[in-house]
Structure 1
Amino acid sequence: MSITSLPLELLRQILGHVSTKDQETTALVCRAWLTPSREAYWGSITLSLEGYVPERLVDSLKSGSTSIPRHVHDIVIDESEEVEDRDEEETREWQEGVVAIMAHFQTVSSMTIQYLDLTKFPPALQGQILRPGMVTTTLVAGHIGAPGASMILPFLVGNSKLIFLGLGSFKFAAAEEEVTDAGNGQDPKVVVPTQYPMSKLGHFVVFGRSSVAWSVLMPLVLRQSFIEDLKTLVLVSVNQDITSKLIDRAAPSLRSLALDLTSEESVFDLGHTKSLRNLSLGIASYAAHEQVLANMVQTIRSAPSSLEYVFINTGPAVIDQEKQRDSAPPLWASLDAHLSQCPNLRGIVFIQLLSGCLGMFAAMPGALGGAFDKWKQEVLDYAESKLPACKEKGLLRVSQTSGAWTGRAFADLNFLE
C-alpha cells in the first residue's frame, strides 16, 4: 500500500502526533493529505485574554479567502484576566478576534469555556459567539457572564449531537429580577421557547455552586427532555429540591450518580433508580456538618440492589480521629451491615483527592519520601476499621486522584463508557 493511500482515520491519528511545522509539510504531500493536515494543524485553539488570540488565524479569516477547515477539534476560551487591565485597542482586537474565529468554525468537537463575560462585548457582538448546534461532542461551560439566561440557554442545550455537558457558574445582569420572580412562585422572566432535542446526551455534570445557576438556569434545564435519557449525573447538590427532581427525571436510565453532600439537608431517596450501578458521595464536609454522615448512610441504604460500586470522597477531617463524633460508630456499623449484604456490589472505593500540584507526583514511586503511600494507607486503615464486614469480603480499596471531585467522582472508573 502506498503511504498516500493510508485510511483516513489512521492518517488522522498519525497527524495528531506530528509537530505543527511538519503538518505544514504533510499538507503538501498530496491532495488526499491536505484537509486532514489542515484539520490537525488547527486541531486545538486556545483563546486567552492573557494575550493569545492566534493572529495568523484571525488575519487569514479576515482576508476572506482562507482554506482553513470549517471544523476544529478543540477550542478553549479563557478571558479570566480583567478586561479593564487592557487598553481599548487591545480589548477591541480581542473581541473582534474571538467573534471572527467563532464565526468561521461551523462545528467544534470539544469546547471548554473557562471564563467568558459576554456583557463586556458590544451588544452587536454578544449573540455572535456562542451559537446553538456548533458543539458536537463535549461542552464544558465553567463561568459565563451574560445579559440574561435567554442569551446562553439555546447554546447550552441546543447542541443536538452533544454527548457530555458540564455546567459551572453563571452571572446574569438580569438575574436579580429573575430570581425574585421565581422565588415568588411565578414563572421566571426567562421563557424556554422550545424543547431542544439532545437525544445523544448521556452525561450531565453540574459543578457550579452559584445561586444564579441553581435558581435561574437549572429550573430551565430541568424542563428539557434530555434529562430522561441520562446515563450519568454528577451534582454538587446546592439545591435540594432541584437535585431531587433531576434524579427523579433521570431515574429510568441512570447508571452512574454522584452527589456532593455539602450540607445537613443533603439526603436523597434513590429507590426509584432501578438501574443504578455506580454511586459516588462526597462527604468532605464531615465532621463540620455532623448530619452529612447520617445522610450518606441513608442515601446509600435507599439505593437499589443493582448497585455495583460505591465511591466515598473523603476529606482530611473525615479520617481525623480527634474529630470523630459519638454518633459515627453506629452509623458506620449500619452501613457496613448493609453494604456487605448487597448482592451485586463489587467494590467500595474511598477517594482521596490530592490538591494543587500534588497530583503530578502521585504516580511516581516513593515520591515525597513515600508520603502518598502513607496517606493512602491511613485512609485504607480508617475504611477497614469502619467497615470490617466489607473488608472481609475484599470490597475495600483507596484511590488517590487529583482535580475537582465532580471531574473524578468515580475515581479511575471510566463512566463515559
Structure 2
Amino acid sequence: MVLKRTFLVFATMMAASAANAQSSVTLFGLVDTSIVYSNDARVSAAKPSAGGGSVWQQFAGSIFTPRWGLRGVEDLGGGLSAVFWLESGFNSTNGTLKNGGDLFGRQAWIGLNESRYGTLTLGRQYDFMVTYLAPLSATGSGFGGNLAEHPYDNDNLNNDLRLNNSIKFTSVSFNGLKVGAMYAFSNSAGQISNNNAYSVGVGYSFGPFNFAAAFLQINRDANFPNSAGAASTGDGDALTTGGSQRMFGAGAQYSFGKSSVGVVWTHSSTESVSSLWFGGSTSNGALPGPMGGAGNYIKFDNFEINGRYFLRSDLSFGASYLYTMASFNSTKENAFPHWNQVMAQVDYSMSTRTDIYMEGVYQHVGGGNGIPTFGAGIYTLSPATGNQQVVVAIGLKHRF
C-alpha cells in the first residue's frame, strides 16, 4: 500500500513537472529613475509666454520607460506554441500608470509561434518601424532611449505609438533574412478606412552587419475622428492628430564585439495635421491654422549617426548626432524648422541587471518662424522658451 502511494505521488510530481516544462509564465519588468537638469524650461508648457528657467527634478524613464508585464508560452507540439504578452507602463516617481491609465497600455497580444516559419499575433502591438528599424537607432530600444528621441517621435522609433486591433506576422530568420507584415482594423462600421493601418518590414544580418527597412501607413479622416481605431487618441499615444500619416525609413549597423556604429534615415508626413505629440499631450503641440482642416501638412526627414563603445565589459560610452528637417504648410503660415541634436552617454553595469548612467542632450532649432511648437524640446520634459536646450540625467535602471 505504501509502495502504491509512493508511486502515485511520484507519478503526480512527474506529470506536474512535464506540464511546467511545456508551458511557462514569466514576470518581467524594468525600473528607470533619474535626477534631471533642464535649462530654460517653460514655466507652463502650454503657454510659452509665461517665461522659464532652470529646473532640477526626479524623472521616470530618461532612457527606458518603467514597465512590468507577463509573458507566456505553451508548447502545443510539432513545433507549434501558444504565446502571449501583457505589458504595463508606469511612472516610478509616483506609481501612476502611463498610457492614459491603460492597464496594459504598452502591449497586449496573444498568438501562435511556429518554429519553422514565424509568429502570428493579435492585439495591441508595435509596428515594424519599432520592431526592425528602431534597434539600429540610438533612441527607442537603442542605448540612448527616450532622451535621444527624434523631435515629437515623428517616426515612432521611440515606440510611443502602438496599433490597436492589429494582426501581425513576423518570420523567423532565413539565412539572415526576416520579413514581417501587419494590419490594424478601424473597428468601426461603415468606416473600414478611417483609422486603419498597415506596416511592413524587412531585416537582414550578415556577419557583423545588420540592415533594416520599414513602412507604416495610418489612414484617418481628419473631419470624422475614430477613437476606436488602430491609432490611439484617448490614451495619449497618438503621434499626431489630423489626417493620414505615413512613415518609412532604413538603417544599417556594424558591430564589433559588444560595440557598434549605426546610421538611420527616416521620413514621416501627416496630412491635415492639427497637433503633434509631446509627452502624451497635444496641448503644447497645437499648430496654427485650421485645426484638423484643409491645407495643413507637415513632413520630417531624420538623419542619425550613432555609436557605442565598450571600454570594458561593464563600462560603455555612447553618442549620437541627429539632424531633422521639416516642412509645415497651412493656410495661415508656413515654416521650415530644422533640429540639430547631440546626445552623449556613459553607462556602468553594476551587475547583469543594474546600471548607473549619465546622459546629456543638446538641441538647437532654427527656421520655426516664431511658432512656439517649433521651439526646442526634449522628450516629455518642459520645452524651452527659446530655440535651444540642454538636458542632463543621472540615473539608475534595474531589470527583473
Q: TM-score, normalised by structure 1?
A: 0.30
Q: Could you say which structure has the larger radius of gyration?
A: 1
Which structure would you say has the larger RCO, counting Cα contacts within 8 Å and 6 or more residues apart? 2
Q: TM-score, normalised by structure 2?
A: 0.30
